[in-house]
Chain A
Amino acid sequence: MRVLVTGASGMLGAGVAVALAARGDDVRTFQRGAPSVSGVDDMRGSLTDAAAVARAVAGADAVVHLAAKVSLAGDRADFEAVNVDGTRTLLDAARAAGARRFVYTSSPSVAHAGVSIVGDDALPADPDRARGDYARTKARAELAALEADAPGFATVAVRPHLVWGPGDTQLIGRIVERARAGRLPLLGRGAALLDTTYIDNAVDAHVAALDRADDVHGRSYVVTNGQPRTVAELMAAICGAAGVAAPRWRVPASVARAAGGVVEAVWAVAPGEDEPPMTRFLAEQLSTSHWYDQRRTRAELHWTPAVGLDEGFERLAASYRA
């Protein structure tokens, strides 16, 4: 199968490209900068460039679309151009090129208004409820992808929640860096439960969605490890893996809760050029619970997480020791 993977400069995109290539698929990557993966057919370009997109998707049987503008700040028009228009451009080009499957990497934030999430399954994407430009444009793009679902063109949306793993420069890197400097606070008691996804499991879920697309087309799936943990435990485990002291000081939960949780976007997907301010980044995270019902996802994608949290943290620790 010839597969185009967009956004392969990020941890998840690169992981998907490697996994597909490793099993013998013919993989091409497409993103603006250098891919984080070698040994694949790489093309550079922007989603806002329709001609470049058409060239990239030429000959593909399937597309895994991970590229997006990811940040908490930035010009609203840029989000629209990359996330919504870019996705539409890619959908049109893929269909025109004869691709038969399209996996869209979305975010759980497309369906939620920042309140606590306790065991929900994937609700329909809702641009009116999603908070912030990122989530709103991702919601519109997901709706566009699912609307494009048609006989002979199977589209699926995968919404991984808080992807992490060795080499993650985003959240893990930042938490460790802050902790090392003694400037990592715990918000409230750190008792809110969070679902996270170990990188290998997120990659496997994308591959599963691609393989199952003919049966599960037109649907959305939240993907997690299915092992919610308290924020405090997650922080301690990350810091422990990196060999730095866990957070000891707290900021009031009310400050944290005022913000809501949209940072999974930053944690999950490819690095954008807009680095969010660290304080905002932490304040918006980690104060309300976000965990999901994984039964439908696992049953319909024929997928279960292969790497548990404990093993994931061991692998993370090994990467720091290396």
Chain B
Amino acid sequence: MSSDGVAARAEASLPPHPLPGLDPAFSRVVHVPVGTGTEGDGIGVGAGAGARNGASGAGGAASASGVSHGWHVLDNGAALAARGIQPRGTILCVHGNPTWSYLWRELVSAAAERAERDPANAWRVVAVDQLDMGFSERTGTVRPLATRIADLSALTRELGIEDGPVVTLGHDWGGVVSLGWAVQHRESLAAVMLLNTAVHQPEHLAIPAPLRLALRRSLLERSTVATPAFLETTLALAHPRLDPAVRDAFRAPYRGAARRAGIGGFVADIPVSPEHRSFAALDAVAEGIRSLHVPAVMLWGPRDPVFGDQYLADLITRLPQADVHRFEGTGHLIAEDVNYAPVLLDWLASKVPAGAGDPDASVGPAASPDRDAADAGSRSGEVTAPFRPMGAVLDELRASDRTALVEMAPRGASSAPRSVSWRLLSRRVTELAAGLSASGVRPGDRVSLLVPPGADLTAVLYACLRIGAVVVVADAGLGLAGLGRAVRGARPDHLIGIETALAAARLLGWPGQRFSATTLAPPVAAALGVRASLPQLAALGAESSTPLPEAPGADDTAAILFTSGSTGPAKGVVYTHRQLAAMRDALAAQYGIGAGTGLVAGFAPFALLGPALGATSVTPDMTVTRPGTLTATAVAAAAAAANATVLFASPAALTNVVATAASLDAAERGVLASVRTLLSAGAPLGIPLLERVAELLPNATVSTPYGMTEGLLLTDISLDEIRSAARQPDEGVCVGAPAASVRLRVSPLDELGEAVGSLTDEPGVTGEIVASAPHIKERYDRLWITDTASKRDSAPERRWHRTGDVGHFDAAGRLWVEGRLPHVLVTADGPLTPVGPEQRIETLPAVARAALVGVGPRGTQQAVAVIETRDAARRVVLAPAELTAEIRHVTGIDVAAALVVRVLPTDIRHNSKIDRAALSRWAAGILAGGPVREP
């Protein structure tokens, strides 16, 4: 930009080549007559030049003269035509600032390749360089948002694609321009696709710091135009770093200040206040998209210092039908960080399928969320009982003085147990529901609960369910970093927590309006940004005369539970009210829990269901986040408090209960004798430990359920069945027969270890375990790819969930789990599941624990045994020859090597789950001749 503010002009041109990944055959320059857009031309020189020049394309006339504008575009249309392929429509791609159409190179190529394989699903891709950007013309004008949308419309008219069907795709400010086009061409629109972008600056949020900096008038020109600082900053946002050649390709059109005027123009066009010239245009886009009822998808990189998760949340409110996938660990340049092109093409094929007719037929109410919800409710294959809300018992017993909850060691109190009657609990739930409503918690709002299990959590949980707020529950066991990822990913509107959680929220900038579990000193509350405490909310609710909102529908979202994260980043698992109720009913049916049952809740997730079951729940004296602190005496005291007949405990808790059993007196043993059912919820325990538990609970059936966050109760096995299974030759761990209302199948593995086979329950066939039940999850939250993969066997009449576990059925129909799908070894002889061989290695006297991992490429992997010996090794060594030979003999597997380690690494959450993926990488390094390190 020269000193008088008039930018230099330059003709459009073709990019230099070669540039990595860019096929020059797709590159061309299109000349678009000026004045054909609805908004006229830009501000400044050349504005209003109206003489329409009919010539365009290769024979086009002079462009920078103001007669027409030259656009550089990537376009695979000619390539499709040359192969006689008639595309279904056009994907119109708009880059942001300061990139260019190079950002879309993979999509242009991938769509062309796919069109050859599947011509019926072919899409033309047109990726533009916006005017003054990339290799398009430098117009010498300033082009506000409205002009840019008009520019794009003029281009699509010139290309003859404006009548559609068109799928728009935009990134960064290109997202706004693409949506602007979409709003103005509704009749042509088939779908919208977005990567990190924003259409609205939420009033209560600050403009992101990097943009604020660039927007300071004194810095604007220098950072964006005079120097390549803005460009370089953007290019540095890739995860991992961009290849230098790719980085150079992004720089190619912006060499020299004269070519960077557009970058400055874009930044200056960010409407920071209502007075800004583009404010109205942006607002029109932001509001206009609310009525776009076409399929939508957003791929999001959360590590974006500018377009952060708050803008994703805003976009979701405007396009609630959108499928969203957040790629944990990726950022602003998500198109460089992940292989996005096949994801978008897959999405398009599934959401805008061939043969759907003209785009009008595929839009409209069919895609609206309400209709989706109605469809969900009509799943006749699963819905067997009429829906009974989770809070139904609370309503029924609202006048009962019998005990609902007992806390043996209430937080912050002395040692006296605290009992809560149904009457009190019911009233508390109603008051909290009213208080939350009065404080702005709306149906559908997400409420993150960072409160340890106990009466407070129970009350606020049922209060949220009552008013249709979606509870977000992330286990503290994820650790602070994992918890933070979960909270940011779920994007709660409100956060209810104990003081330490609120401090973390404050420190780490977790989103949401904050409430504290207990009433804090006013300065503390103020410092933590706390609006009110639970007692204050209850008081507010007690005084409130406003009626509670209507109870939520059965198929409204009720909860988002986070997975343990032991199998990758923690995933948010979405449940509807109907599915939570089904989980309650499954537990009741399987274990005979009902009104009046005394329940000792040493395992939090199931404990929260107590009030829904009508059971009296007792929380024993233990540190909830450390189940290993539960003692036998504490269990006996808890059981005595409610004449308990059912005991829930995690494996770690049971291990300690057995270890502390010697301190029980006769009376305590007598109390334990009245327990009829023990649930050991978590990783399976060995027979010896279960037998010692059974000795403590002589009249109890010892049950071990199998399940996961996505389906908490899939099978169940008793100790007697475990004993008899131990005599069977099957590979793996027997987890028993399907629980009531659960259907199980396996999807057999192919020779490359991929679970691609058709679902079967044939005995002896190993495959990925697939489950169907009314209490299976609704979906994963903002993980469209994961969600689609997990339910790819589903049909309208039956939902199936891929568990990621592998196993088989025995002749009696019992399920045997053989490991995790990603841990299956794939040797030249085919797939090999790890758990069975590991169990056989562990029968060797010298071996304490074993893991079988693969090294080398899948399909020709070598099996490697990694073992912990009973006499602990001091450092990593190769197993002695005799032991190695024994391992080969007992497994029948020609393991390439056996490594002895001091201790096998386990993931943080489950101290019995070995992190085989990490172990495999570690072993591969050593066996490739690398340095010998501890695993």
Contact = CB atoms under 8 A, between A and B. Distances in A.
Contacts of B857: 118-119, 293
B928 A116 contact: yes
B862 interface: yes
Given A233-B884, A295-B860, A226 B828 contact: yes
Given A189-B878, A230-B878, A233-B878, A291 B856 contact: yes
Interface in A115-134: 116, 118-119
Given A118-B856, A230-B878, A293-B860, A191 B927 contact: yes
B926 interface: yes
Interface in B855-895: 855-857, 859-862, 877-878, 881, 884, 894
Nearest to A309: B894
A48 B923 CA distance: 48
Given A192-B929, A289-B927, A233 B860 contact: no
A34 interface: no
A17 B855 CA distance: 37
A70 interface: no
A288 B897 contact: no
B929 A191 contact: yes
Contact of A228 (B862, B929, B931): B862
A232 B878 contact: yes
Nearest to B855: A118
A148 interface: no
A287 B931 CA distance: 11
A294 interface: yes
Given A191-B878, A294-B860, A227 B894 contact: yes
A23 B857 CA distance: 38
A257 B931 CA distance: 11
Contacts of A288: 928-929
Interface residues of A, number: 29
A236 to B, nearest CB: 6
Contacts of B524: none
A295 B826 CA distance: 12
Contacts of B884: 233
A119 B828 CA distance: 10
Interface string B745-759: 000000000000000
Q: How large is the interface on B (under 10, 10 to 19, 20 to 34, 35 or more residues)?
A: 20 to 34
Contact of A118 (B828, B899, B928, B931): B928
A2 interface: no
B896 interface: yes
A117 B619 CA distance: 57
B897 A230 contact: yes
B120 interface: no
A313 to B, nearest CB: 11
A118 to B, nearest CB: 5
Interface in A194-252: 226-230, 232-233, 236-237, 240
Contacts of B272: none
* Max count, chain A CB within 10 A of own CB: residue among B828, B899, B929, B931: B929
Contact of A287 (B862, B877, B927, B929): B929
Interface in A270-322: 287-289, 291, 293-295, 298
Contacts of B862: 119, 193, 228, 291
Contacts of B878: 189-191, 230, 232-233
A116 B929 contact: yes
A128 to B, nearest CB: 22
A225 to B, nearest CB: 10
A294 B828 contact: yes
A316 B371 CA distance: 75
A236 B861 contact: no
A233 B881 contact: yes
B856 A119 contact: yes
Contacts of B595: none
Nearest to A227: B894
B897 A193 contact: yes
Contacts of A227: 894, 896
B932 interface: yes
Contacts of B896: 193, 227-230, 291
Contacts of B881: 233, 236-237, 240
B719 interface: no
B246 to A, nearest CB: 26
A253 interface: yes
B924 interface: yes
Interface in A178-195: 188-193
Interface in B817-871: 828, 855-857, 859-862
Given A189-B878, A191-B932, A230 B927 contact: yes
A203 B878 CA distance: 32
A166 B117 CA distance: 54
Contacts of B897: 191, 193, 229-230, 233
A257 B856 contact: no
Nearest to A193: B927
Contacts of A191: 878, 897, 899, 926-927, 929, 932
A311 to B, nearest CB: 13
A167 B856 CA distance: 33
Interface string A46-78: 000000000000000000000000000000000
Nearest to A246: B881
A188 B929 contact: yes
A124 B291 CA distance: 58
A193 B861 CA distance: 12
A294 B928 CA distance: 18
Given A230-B878, A233-B884, A193 B928 contact: yes
Contacts of A233: 878, 881, 884, 897
* Max count, chain B CB within 10 A of own CB: residue among A190, A191, A232, A288: A191
A118 B928 CA distance: 7
Contacts of B859: 293, 295
B213 to A, nearest CB: 46
Contacts of B899: 191
Contacts of A229: 896-897
B929 A119 contact: no
Contacts of A236: 881
Interface string B904-935: 00000000000000000000101111011000
Nearest to A187: B929
Contacts of A189: 877-878, 926, 932
A58 B828 CA distance: 42
Nearest to B896: A228
B15 to A, nearest CB: 32
A145 to B, nearest CB: 26
Contacts of A228: 862, 896
Contact of B929 (A253, A293, A298): A253
Contacts of B828: 226, 293-295, 298
A229 B927 CA distance: 9
Nearest to B857: A119
A89 B884 CA distance: 49
A253 B896 CA distance: 20
A116 B855 CA distance: 13
Contacts of B860: 119, 293-295
A175 B855 CA distance: 28
Interface string B554-579: 00000000000000000000000000
* Max count, chain A CB within 10 A of own CB: residue among B855, B877, B924, B928: B928
A191 B894 CA distance: 17
Contacts of A291: 856, 862, 896
A294 B896 CA distance: 15
B125 to A, nearest CB: 35
B104 to A, nearest CB: 34
A74 B884 CA distance: 41
Contacts of A188: 929, 932
9 contacts: A116-B928, A118-B928, A189-B932, A233-B897, A288-B929, A289-B929, A294-B828, A295-B860, A298-B828
Given A119-B860, A193-B927, 6 more contacts: A191-B926, A230-B878, A236-B881, A288-B928, A293-B828, A295-B860
